[in-house]
Structure 1
């Protein structure tokens, strides 16, 4: 196995297929299909970077493209280097050379961290007054230092030896997102004879089904169902499936921009293959199935390495077979974190406690937690955490109470609920409405010929989501979610691009 945190029998990667890579000069073993993030977590590495201003230690927050912390430098050799790559989406390839950024001389000992000690003196805007005097010092002292400190990664000095390509395409329907909603909509549209392009930024389709463990669709495990639909779509001559492809722009008259990562995951790309391909697509209809993004909980020192979203922990476990810790704490204001805790517990990971700031969580969740031997502290909050380069404990207390309790953890997963991913819809000039009951913004007025479905449209129930997606495609698809009560792929659990 590749790492002390890799769980035998968990995940969907093949243990016999390994790859070697290095991180900050140290060599590690990964499994083919790992991201840099999952491979490092498998080896117990949580520290991945430093914050921009105060150089505080940073770890992985997510498992997808919404990652704010894990920016790395990736190279194959001295002439092919790419800074500011998200470790949560960069797939490991044999021989990859990965380096952390924004630190000196090393990640664990960064002299820039002295800024954190002087943070009380660095109030927002302090530099507007500080660097005005003496006037002569600006060009010789202040400006050179500030320019060297600006940014995170360092730009390559060598010329880019890679090739890039572009392609123009036309279709009847473009589906953004390959989760349950996106797959259903694409299949529905394809069965009408329409020319369909299905786009997903992940290497595999499935969206939230990649980390869901209990979802059943048409009698199949949710992930297996997604792969069967993918196979059906690929066999249809009127369908184009683009994975590792990001929809980055929704412009006037249904003009869509796509960025396809063609060879970034390969150890030895073919000479004739481009590194990336730009797609410029004109489509009659756009179906947005872009899912939802999990929210972080707010508490003191919630940025320590080892503190991450519950959906991320679940993805690392169920997709990559990696436990984010051996003694994991949970802090939540939403039901979906319980499912993450249950999955980890069943995989043999100790759950220190589930801290729920709500006074009355769902009784079914409490009963299941009790059956698994997990302590639930309802009506409590996490007030602080400890640990320098990795979280070591959380301080917990009753809401409004005076007594505090310190609980040892080596990882803390959090969930404050889900925010529909409406970025693409908003870029199309669509107008949002506020859903006061669920405290979220949802698509309202579509300016162009497009439709939002699934989690990004606020559709939480699995059966309703599948029906909505089939209708959006314009055809009929026999789909049914047989266990909608355990589905967390809508507002509860879809990831960006999941649907």
Structure 2
């Protein structure tokens, strides 16, 4: 059995007294209670976890949440076989059996990776152009082969052995999201006397606070907030529960997963589908970090900066030893500092010409190399990153590395608010879309409203929770919110890095959509974002474009010589994440 050679000897939010054994592609591995499948794989040094949809390019773990486009696995066997599950959301359990997908005969050697050689014939809309003759009935012949080649995982054919439940629930205030804003909203609404349902997809509450060091002020605030809510009678904590859809009448569709670490569920349903009806709703769904667009940005070892920080501080996994952090904002510098403090050799490549004096001083203290006005243009490596090409004021150079952390800013998670007709509106100051005007019984808080400072998000959540309770007639005075200042500064609203290398530059990792596909769609007249989406299959995978939509939108806006608001945004529809039916 492999050892956790990338696991730090201390810290993290895992239980080292409870080791967990699992298999991945038949290989016996070990992790700990509190791991996800993704964190356990990284701890064991597994970098190659999947193959891409069209070109079968090697892919690694990219994120630490439901936005994961690459690390999709099939879980279980026989009647419990379930495909296309993000390894980043799977709570590790003893005896877990996981398999990689979309490869033959093996993950390391996939015959269909030869599709990369056929890339000129597999561009956007290729099936409308290549398979058109010689007769009208030719498509019926081609279709069977295309269908066999398409898809990712394969569903099982055996009878399902589990039980599934349906339930109905009611609350005065439903709060979607268990991060700092959601926790603050729940505390305020409960203090005002409202019945509160706090919904969180993770098995731990905290959101991005889980990426903070376990001995930090943020961790202390989180422990206090969770303890208060756990002891509050009006509050129902719904962990392992995904709000997949928001509907008229303040109805929220929920799917709750059974605790996989429970060794004897005693007939407990594997999943419970709940229709929650609330008098008011607080949306505190957070924001998703954006990738950067550069050549070969899909290689295993390219990871979101926030994900690297999560694996380090939550799971005690150091995913690399020689690391480049490519960014356009201050938030990723904190990732660089934490990685350096854990013993990694770190270089920050910041697109901006200058950073704050405080950041520069901390970088110098920790030995972090800083390259200002520098962008990453290419990475080298097959099943893992080996080198990166940086372009700065002194020209272009190659740097050896085993991990590239990228941060192109943040996109507020507006999916659920869009489900009920709240149109996203573009804000120049954050370079992103936020929800438009809410009706009287719905409220937004935190980073999904463009409030990226943790202290401000807590205050925002307190306001939203108080207002939501007030709408329900609960006007008891609520206490002032706890203050938590992490010393954050606003991110610059930059989002785009134009590819400058020779390799493919991807905007949608799961569906293999490149900047070249966006350019082709523009040349062929598919300039509307909805036409672009369907012609290129942008955002039509299991991740619903959570990390890809904005980059493609920005690329199309540049091609049209238009602003992003003029170009528009795609329409988000339920479900937020895939739901079994």
Aligned to 2:44: 43
SS in 2 for 1:337: helix
Which of the residues 341, 349, 363 maps onto 1:355? 349
Aligned to 1:81: 81
1:355-404 per-position Cα deviation (integer Å, ceiling 9, x unaligned) = 111111222111211111111110111111100111111011215x6x32
Report if aligned partners of 1:173, 1:195 keep a CA contact under 8 Å in 2.
yes
Aligned to 2:371: 377
- Does residue 189 (structure 1) correspond to residue 189 (structure 2)? The answer is yes
Aligned to 1:332: 327
SS in 2 for 1:314: helix
Q: Which range is displaced more, 406-415 or 363-372? A: 363-372
Which of the residues 218, 223, 226 maps onto 1:227? 223
SS in 2 for 1:360: coil
1:442-467 per-position Cα deviation (integer Å, ceiling 9, x unaligned) = 22211361100111111233333222
**Counterpart Cα distance in 1 of 2:436 and 2:214:** 32
**Counterpart Cα distance in 1 of 2:123 and 2:23:** 38
Aligned to 1:60: 61
The structure where helix makes up a greater share of residues is: 2
Report if aligned partners of 2:11, 2:214 keep a CA contact under 8 Å in 1.
no
Q: TM-score, normalised by structure 2?
A: 0.80
**Counterpart Cα distance in 2 of 1:341 and 1:162:** 44
Aligned to 2:391: 397
Aligned to 1:415: 407
Aligned to 2:457: 465
Aligned-pair distance for 1:298? 1.2
- Does residue 239 (structure 1) correspond to residue 235 (structure 2)? The answer is yes
Report if aligned partners of 1:337, 1:415 keep a CA contact under 8 Å in 2.
yes
Which of the residues 448, 454, 459 maps onto 2:446? 454
State the structure with bigger RCO (CA 8 A, min sep 6), 1 or 2.
1
Report if aligned partners of 1:300, 1:384 keep a CA contact under 8 Å in 2.
yes
Q: TM-score, normalised by structure 1?
A: 0.92
**Counterpart Cα distance in 1 of 2:34 and 2:211:** 15
**Counterpart Cα distance in 2 of 1:291 and 1:439:** 16
**Counterpart Cα distance in 1 of 2:17 and 2:314:** 16
1:38-81 per-position Cα deviation (integer Å, ceiling 9, x unaligned) = 00000111111111111111111100011111110010x43311
Report if aligned partners of 1:253, 1:448 keep a CA contact under 8 Å in 2.
no
For residues 97-496 of structure 1, what are the structure 2 equivalents within 5 Å?
Answer: 97-135=97-135, 138-139=139-140, 142-213=142-213, 221-263=217-259, 265-266=260-261, 268-351=263-346, 353-398=347-392, 403-447=395-439, 449-474=441-466, 475-486=477-488
Aligned to 1:18: 19
Report if aligned partners of 1:429, 1:447 keep a CA contact under 8 Å in 2.
no
Report if aligned partners of 2:181, 2:445 keep a CA contact under 8 Å in 1.
yes
Q: State the aligned residue count.
A: 484
Report if aligned partners of 1:96, 1:267 keep a CA contact under 8 Å in 2.
no
Report if aligned partners of 2:121, 2:130 keep a CA contact under 8 Å in 1.
no
1:257-301 per-position Cα deviation (integer Å, ceiling 9, x unaligned) = 1110114x2363423100001111111100011111101011111
Q: Which range is displaced more, 326-335 or 463-472? A: 463-472
Report if aligned partners of 1:394, 1:409 keep a CA contact under 8 Å in 2.
yes
**Counterpart Cα distance in 2 of 1:456 and 1:227:** 23
1:412-459 per-position Cα deviation (integer Å, ceiling 9, x unaligned) = 001011111111111121133221122112222113611001111112
**Counterpart Cα distance in 1 of 2:421 and 2:129:** 39
Q: Which range is displaced more, 474-483 or 271-280? A: 474-483
Report if aligned partners of 1:215, 1:484 keep a CA contact under 8 Å in 2.
no
**Counterpart Cα distance in 2 of 1:463 and 1:314:** 19
**Counterpart Cα distance in 1 of 2:22 and 2:336:** 30
Report if aligned partners of 2:221, 2:484 keep a CA contact under 8 Å in 1.
no
- Does residue 29 (structure 1) correspond to residue 23 (structure 2)? The answer is no
SS in 1 for 2:128: helix
Q: Please, which runs of 5 or more residues in structure 1 have no aligned partner?
A: none
Aligned-pair distance for 1:133? 2.8
What's the C-alpha RMSD, in Å, of the aligned pairs? 2.3
Q: Which range is displaced more, 331-340 or 233-242? A: 233-242
**Counterpart Cα distance in 2 of 1:121 and 1:464:** 50
Report if aligned partners of 2:331, 2:488 keep a CA contact under 8 Å in 1.
no
SS in 2 for 1:166: strand
Aligned to 2:9: 8
The structure where strand makes up a greater share of residues is: 1
**Counterpart Cα distance in 2 of 1:137 and 1:419:** 43
**Counterpart Cα distance in 1 of 2:294 and 2:484:** 38
**Counterpart Cα distance in 1 of 2:292 and 2:322:** 19
- The 3 A distance-change label for structure 1 pair 413 and 102 is same
- The 3 A distance-change label for structure 1 pair 155 and 377 is same
Report if aligned partners of 1:428, 1:447 keep a CA contact under 8 Å in 2.
no
Aligned-pair distance for 1:484? 4.2
**Counterpart Cα distance in 2 of 1:18 and 1:343:** 26
Aligned to 2:509: none
Aligned-pair distance for 1:487? 7.8
- The 3 A distance-change label for structure 1 pair 482 and 270 is closer
